[in-house]
């Protein structure tokens, strides 16, 4: 992917959050290949660069942050990964780009093997083909089917099964190397062996929908576990006599903790607690958004959405969220009282690290992909750029058609 003009681009007149630096009246030079060439101030001379053929982009005094990376998202805008169609992935891509996501992992759910294989083949084809029009597809988060039915949550209990090495290998092959994260319960039959298999394959193992004890979690870490899935949700809770998975996430520095920061899945004070214990680089903010995110309240298949909350129709469990990454960022700022620069890594650098793309995603620095958001002072989205290409503009979205 190149930036849409096919020319170098100088973005200027914005406050740029570039790693440890915050550059007032900053400038960012983006190559025709969509990578950042330089970030700085007036030393990037606009007149000189324009004369040399660069296009100028006025950021309008906005706040410029790295693009937000969602490593756990099932759907949104009426689309979902399990549709197993290009249109489903592209619809997700466009919807979430309009809410601050610049790259994502298409996330599956527990289903029949044939359905999961179809979804994985579809991701592999989309990645090898024309790509998506909005947020960039970075691969797959395989959530299930190797889970503990005791902690299934909204996952289909009928499609939860022991961890089969042959089935896991079929998934890895179908995705063509694009499975970046697998959520499983290490305490189930075959779970620890699957952890080792995934670790050898370079896949991040995330413990979720698990009833593991602290001792089992420590063994899973020894076998390769590196994070927890939607921390506090779908896992054995903390108890003073058995800390469980929730306690392991808090206690073990080897584990990064995913977090659905909607204030529904996790109480705002528990969000603050997680940040106080783990720090921003120990927390990975996700949406866990599903098909109906962005749609009106109503019934959608086996779920009901009301006031933005998504539940199974019988009310027994939350069934994903309607959260967006940019709203999650604003929520974390409000819940924790921490500054923007401190919180940003949880939505940028940390997911890039967990997915294995930190060499090109997650920061605004020379050599990195030019994935960035332009926000106003209230942190409302003005435009989204993926590899230097504008994929969403509020101005265009608000303009009347015709």
CA distances (Å), origin 68, targets 170, 299, 304, 328, 351: 31, 29, 27, 10, 9
For the stretch 64-92, what's the b/e string if a residue is b when 16 or more beta carbons lie within 10 angstroms of its beta carbon? bbbbbbbbbbbbbbbbbbbbbbeebbbbb
Q: Please check whether residue 252 lies inside any domain of the structure.
A: yes
**Quick one: the chain helix, strand, coil %, rounded to 5?**
30, 30, 40
Q: Output the tens digit of pLDDT for each of the chain's 402 residues.
A: 556 567 999 999 999 999 889 999 999 999 999 999 999 999 999 999 999 999 999 999 999 999 999 999 999 999 999 999 999 999 999 999 999 999 999 999 999 999 999 999 999 999 998 789 999 999 999 999 999 999 999 999 999 999 999 999 999 999 999 999 999 999 999 999 999 999 999 999 999 999 999 999 999 999 999 999 999 999 999 999 999 999 999 999 999 999 999 999 999 999 999 999 999 999 999 999 999 999 999 999 999 999 999 999 999 999 999 999 999 999 999 999 999 999 999 999 999 999 999 999 999 999 999 999 999 999 999 999 999 999 999 998 887 654
**pLDDT computed for residue 66 by the predictor:** 98
Q: Please check whether residue 1 lies inside any domain of the structure.
A: no
Domain that holds residue 344: 68-355
Name the residue among 398, 292, 361 with its Cα closest to residue 105.
361
Q: Are residues 325 and 210 in the same domain?
A: yes
Q: Are residues 220 and 338 in the same domain?
A: yes
Q: Please check whether residue 380 lies inside any domain of the structure.
A: yes
Looking at the structure of the chain, the number of domains it has is: 2
Q: Are residues 28 and 154 in the same domain?
A: no
Q: Please check whether residue 3 lies inside any domain of the structure.
A: no
Q: What is the CATH number of the domain that holds 336?
A: 3.20.20.140
**Whether 105 contacts 181, CB under 8 Å:** yes
Q: Alpha-carbon distance 185 to 196, whole Å?
A: 13
Q: Please check whether residue 4 lies inside any domain of the structure.
A: no
Q: Are residues 177 and 240 in the same domain?
A: yes
Name the residue among 352, 325, 328 with its Cα closest to residue 181.
352
Q: Alpha-carbon distance 307 to 2, whole Å?
A: 39
Q: How many CB atoms lie within 10 A of CB 4?
A: 15
**pLDDT computed for residue 151 by the predictor:** 97
Q: Is 288 a catalytic residue?
A: yes
- Rounded (5°) CA angle 260-349-266: 15
**pLDDT computed for residue 399 by the predictor:** 74
Q: Are residues 89 and 130 in the same domain?
A: yes
On the CB side of 272, how many CA atoms lie within 13 Å of its CA? 10
Q: Are residues 42 and 150 in the same domain?
A: no
Q: What is the CATH number of the domain that holds 26?
A: 2.30.40.10
Q: Please check whether residue 2 lies inside any domain of the structure.
A: no
Q: Are residues 374 and 265 in the same domain?
A: no
Q: List residues bridging with 101 in a β-sheet.
A: 68
**Whether 336 contacts 345, CB under 8 Å:** no
Q: Are residues 217 and 293 in the same domain?
A: yes
Q: Please check whether residue 117 lies inside any domain of the structure.
A: yes
**pLDDT computed for residue 402 by the predictor:** 42
Q: Please check whether residue 144 lies inside any domain of the structure.
A: yes
Give the pTM: 0.97
Active-site position among 262, 288, 369, 371: 288
Contacts made by residues 243-250, CB under 8 angstroms, sequence distance 24+: 243/214, 244/211, 244/212, 244/213, 244/214, 244/217, 245/207, 245/210, 245/211, 245/212, 245/217, 247/214, 248/207, 248/212, 248/214, 248/217, 248/218, 248/221, 249/278, 250/274, 250/277, 250/278
Q: Are residues 22 and 125 in the same domain?
A: no
Q: Are residues 240 and 371 in the same domain?
A: no
Q: Are residues 181 and 248 in the same domain?
A: yes
Q: Are residues 58 and 78 in the same domain?
A: no
Q: How many CB atoms lie within 10 A of CB 292?
A: 26
């Amino acid at each position: 992917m190149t930036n849409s003009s096919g020319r170098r681009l100088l973005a200027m007149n914005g406050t740029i959050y570039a790693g440890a630096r915050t550059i007032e009246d900053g400038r960012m030079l983006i190559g025709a290949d969509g990578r950042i060439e330089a970030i700085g101030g007036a030393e990037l001379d606009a007149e000189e660069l324009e004369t040399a053929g660069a296009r100028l982009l006025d950021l309008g005094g906005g706040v410029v942050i790295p693009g937000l990376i969602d490593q756990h998202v099932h759907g949104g805008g009426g689309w979902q990964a399990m549709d197993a169609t290009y249109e489903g992935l592209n619809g997700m891509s466009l919807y979430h780009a309009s809410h601050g996501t610049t790259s994502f992992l298409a996330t599956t759910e527990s289903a029949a093997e044939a359905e999961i294989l179809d979804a994985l083949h579809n991701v592999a084809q989309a990645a090898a083909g024309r790509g998506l029009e909005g947020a960039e597809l970075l691969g797959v988060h395989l959530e299930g089917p190797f889970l503990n039915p005791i902690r299934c949550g909204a996952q289909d209990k009928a499609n939860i099964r022991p961890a089969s090495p042959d089935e896991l290998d079929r998934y890895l092959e179908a995705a063509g190397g694009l499975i970046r994260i697998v959520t499983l319960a290490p305490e189930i039959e075959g779970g620890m062996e699957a952890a080792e298999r995934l670790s050898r394959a370079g896949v991040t193992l995330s413990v979720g929908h698990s009833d593991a004890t602290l001792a089992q979690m420590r063994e899973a870490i020894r076998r390769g576990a590196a994070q927890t899935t939607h921390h506090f949700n779908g896992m054995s809770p903390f108890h003073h006599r058995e800390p469980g998975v929730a306690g392991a996430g808090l206690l073990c520095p080897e584990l990064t903790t995913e977090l659905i920061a909607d204030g529904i899945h996790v109480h705002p004070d528990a969000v603050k607690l997680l940040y106080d214990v783990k720090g921003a680089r120990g927390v990975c903010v996700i949406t866990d958004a599903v098909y109906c995110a962005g749609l009106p309240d109503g019934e959608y298949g086996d779920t009901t959405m009301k006031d933005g909350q998504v539940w199974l129709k019988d009310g027994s469990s939350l069934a994903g969220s309607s959260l967006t990454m940019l709203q999650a960022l604003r929520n974390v700022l409000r819940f924790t009282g921490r500054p923007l620069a401190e919180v940003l890594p949880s939505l940028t650098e940390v997911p890039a690290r967990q997915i294995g793309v930190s060499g090109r995603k997650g920061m605004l620095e020379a050599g990195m992909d030019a994935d960035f958001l332009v926000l106003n002072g209230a942190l409302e989205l003005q435009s989204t750029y993926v590899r230097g290409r504008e994929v969403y503009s509020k101005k265009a979205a608000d303009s009347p058609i015709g």
